Amino acid sequence: MRHVADIPHPAAKITLFSWNGKYLIKLEKGPLEQTYKVSEMDVSSDADVRELLDEEFLQAAVQRFDLMWQDLQAAMERHDLF
């Protein structure tokens, strides 16, 4: 896996990788992560992948982190683990 770039964002750590014919967009916030795969055949360069990371996409991803955290908390409580 080749590290392509770290993309600054105030709400999540964003890292772009290239691996096995795909770009991987990895977003991390605390103990949670989201990974999106984009085929290198669908874009002409990593610049195209960066264009996907517009405000609408990133806002939805950050909201998804909140939902993921709520799901994890609910599961922990159901099993008396928290």
26: phi then psi, degrees, rounded to nearest 5: -110, 120
Answer whether 21's CB lies under 8 Å from 39's CB.
Answer: yes
* pLDDT band, very low/low/confident/very high, at 48 (cuts 50, 70, 90): very high
**Number of domains the chain is built from:** 1
The separation between CA 43 and the C-alpha centre of its own chain, rounded to angstroms, equals: 18
- Strand duo 22-29 + 32-39: pairing: antiparallel
Report the predicted TM-score, pTM, of the whole model to 2 decimal places.
0.92
Q: For 56-61, what is the mean pLDDT?
A: 98
Mean pLDDT of the chain: 97
Q: Which residues constitute the domain of residue 54?
A: 2-78
pLDDT digits (tens, 9 = 90+) for 6-20: 999 999 999 999 999
